[in-house]
Amino acid sequence: MRYSFKIGGIHPAPNKIASRRIEIFPLPMRASLPLTQHIGAPSKAIVGKGDKVKRGQLIAENSSFVSAGLHAPVSGTVVGVEDIVMPWGKSSRSIVISATEEEHLEDSHDREKYWCDMIPSICDRSLSERLTADEIRTKILQAGIVGLGGATFPSHVKLSIKPEQKPEVLIINACECEPYLMCDDALMCTYPGRIAEGVELMMKAGGIPRAVIAMEDNKPEAAAAMREALQENKDISLRILKTKYPQGGEKQLVEAVTGRRIESGKLPLSVGVVVNNVATAFAVWQAVATSQALIERVITVTGDIAAGERKNYMVAIGTPFSSLPLTLPGEAIAIVGGPMMGRSAVRLDAPVMKGTSGLTVLKRPERRQPLACVRCGACVDACPMGLEPYLLSTYGRLRMWDEARENDVFDCLECGACSYSCPSDRPILDYIRVAKQRAKL
């Protein structure tokens, strides 16, 4: 039997076509860091125009408990704290750092040494045994780590668990159910031992006795690598799930792994589960073992571009997308993230952020001309939350917020399975999203 969530789900073509090797991408000369890269209060800039910063130095601090700090990804001078246009065209307050040739060379040398010295496969448990939970949590907080799967929830908050909340199992989300994206796959193939160590550290920090690394069955290489790294580990197990979108959705994942269902509006902790992304585990290990803050991450550059350009890169956060080598196929959709939930970008001079898992470039599809809804029920079948997307979408379009609320519009996780499966090409999710926004008021 293959494990999976029970209701709905779709099977888009996986298209995992990028190379699995992680290439270290050169540091940028100029990095911009938006102060809002996470869920919660924006970080507060503690540097100003003209300040000198070193690579890895804290440049913006937590403004409240649910917030995260920012660190300089390159050494250089702060150009200013100004509005930078985000990929989707709206601006956001950011710290901009510019490096000189000299600083750039020095940083690059340090970075090269850092990655070369890393022994990827050994899983050394001494670290998590030596440190206390508080110490680990403080390190995570200081490193500004947020959930790297895309939701960007500050990790130290997630791991601040009181014993009476009885955490039973830590689920490491390595599903990567979005088509095209491969950054987690690549990371597991390359640094399986370090990830395992990161998981140990997270378990210790949260006081969680057991961990399960869950991935879809389309990643045999990653599964083999992780299995080898986990050989003698009794607390961490591997769970292979069916390839089905959205297997990596938090509620779906918890159901697939434990069989428990999180009630609407509740956190996984209500059923004794903590969910974290696999890349977050790696970042935790980096922060605790090597004292490197979250200043770089793996992103996948993929889609309808030349085969040689489809790669996984280790990039510094703040690097502009336009510096990545890729040729656009004429009229295209550039997506920050995967094609199901990623946001479409119109400006590539915007920076890579903490929650950026990739850049997917798709040839422009034929213009979607929505036809009448034939009430085929494909969206109802696809919805992983058991909602009626066609109905919610109509309520959203006709501004019937009360009815939308009565029909559980807030349970919608915006996975896009409804719009994907609609044979009439109706923008179902677009209007549900409007209903979700407006029904709150």
Partner 1 sequence: MSSEHIFIYTLVLMGLLGLVGAIVLYLTAKKFKVVEDPRIDQIEGLLPGANCGACGCKGCRDFACECVRRGNLDGLTCPGAGAAAMKNIASILGVDSVDAARNIAVLKCNGSCGARPLTYEYDGASSCAVMDAVGCGTSACSYGCLGCGDCVSVCRFGALRIDESSKLPVVDEKTCTGCGVCVRECPRHLIELRPEGRRNRRVWVACSSRDKGAVARKICSAACIGCGKCAKVCPFGAIEVTDNLSYINPDLCKACGKCLGVCPTGSICATFENITKDKATE
Partner 2 sequence: MTEKLILSTTPHIHTSRTVRGAMLHVVLALLPAVFCSLYFFGLPALAVLCVSVAVCVFTEWFITRYMLRRPSTVGDFSAVLTGILLALNLPANLPLWMVAAGAVMALGIGKMAFGGLGCNIFNPALVGRVFLLISFPVAMTCWPLPEAGFGDADGATGATVLSLVKLGQLNPSLLPESDMLWGSMGGSMGEVSALALLAGFVYLLFLRVIKWQIPVAVVAGLAIVDVLAGYPVLYDIFSGGLLLGAIFMATDYVTSPMTRRGMIVYGLFIGIITAAIRRWGAYPEGMSFAILIMNGFTPLINRYMKPHRFSPKKKKEALA
368 binds partner 1 (CB under 8 A): yes
363 binds partner 1 (CB under 8 A): no
Stretch that binds partner 1, among 84-92, 163-171, 203-211, 374-382 (CB under 8 A): 84-92
Is residue 359 a contact partner of residue 299, using CB atoms and an 8 Å limit? yes
Is residue 194 a contact partner of residue 120, using CB atoms and an 8 Å limit? yes
DSSP string across 2-48 = -B--SS--B-------S-SSEEEPPPPSEEEEES--SSSSPPEE---
Q: Which of 306, 399, 406, 423 binds partner 1 (CB under 8 A)?
A: 399
By CB under 8 A, what part of segment 254-293 binds partner 1?
none
Least distance between partner 2 and beta carbon 88 (Å) = 7
145 vs 345, beta carbon nearer partner 1: 345
Picking from 209, 149, 202, the residue whose alpha carbon sits closest to that of residue 175 is 149
Q: Which of 63, 344, 407, 424 binds partner 1 (CB under 8 A)?
A: 344
Least distance between partner 1 and beta carbon 371 (Å) = 14
Q: Is 143 exposed, middle or buried (0-12, 13-18, 19+ CB in 10 A)?
A: buried
Least distance between partner 2 and beta carbon 289 (Å) = 37
Q: Which of 44, 125, 227, 397 binds partner 1 (CB under 8 A)?
A: 397
* Residue 104, CB-side half-sphere exposure with 13 Å CA sphere: 11
Q: Which of 61, 124, 309, 430 binds partner 1 (CB under 8 A)?
A: 430
Least distance between partner 1 and beta carbon 148 (Å) = 23
The 306-335 contact track toward partner 1, x by CB under 8 A, reads ---------------------------x--
Q: How far is CA 257 from the centre of its chain?
A: 20
Given the rule CB under 8 A, which residues bind partner 2? 7, 10, 12, 88-89, 179, 251, 261-265, 328-335, 339-348, 360, 362, 364-365, 368, 371-378, 380, 383-388, 390, 408, 411, 414, 416-417, 419-425, 427, 429-430
Answer with the entry of partner 1, partner 2, none that 265 interacts with (C-beta below 5 to 8 A by kind).
partner 2
C-alpha torsion sign, points 125, 131, 132, 135: negative
Dihedral angle computed from the Cα positions of residues 357, 359, 363 and 368, in that order, rounded to the nearest 10 degrees: 50
* Distance between CA atoms of residues 61 and 52, nearest Å: 17
Answer with the entry of partner 2, partner 1, none that 83 interacts with (C-beta below 5 to 8 A by kind).
partner 1
* Distance between CA atoms of residues 130 and 218, nearest Å: 36
* Distance between CA atoms of residues 13 and 417, nearest Å: 13
- What is the chain's alpha carbon radius of gyration, rounded to the nearest angstrom? 21
Least distance between partner 1 and beta carbon 398 (Å) = 10
Is residue 311 within a helix (H) or strand (E), and if so which, with residue range? strand 311-316
Q: How many CB atoms lie within 10 A of CB 240?
A: 17
59 vs 379, beta carbon nearer partner 2: 379
Answer with the entry of partner 2, partner 1, none that 224 interacts with (C-beta below 5 to 8 A by kind).
none
Answer with the entry of partner 2, partner 1, none that 374 interacts with (C-beta below 5 to 8 A by kind).
partner 2
Least distance between partner 1 and beta carbon 64 (Å) = 24
Phi, psi of 346 (to 5 degrees): -115, -10
* Residue 141, CB-side half-sphere exposure with 13 Å CA sphere: 19
Token pair belonging to 340: 């199901």
Least distance between partner 1 and beta carbon 394 (Å) = 12
Least distance between partner 1 and beta carbon 414 (Å) = 10
Least distance between partner 1 and beta carbon 431 (Å) = 6
Residues that bind partner 1 in the complex, under the rule CB under 8 A = 83, 88-91, 333, 343-344, 346, 364, 367-368, 370, 397, 399, 427, 430-431, 433-434, 437-438
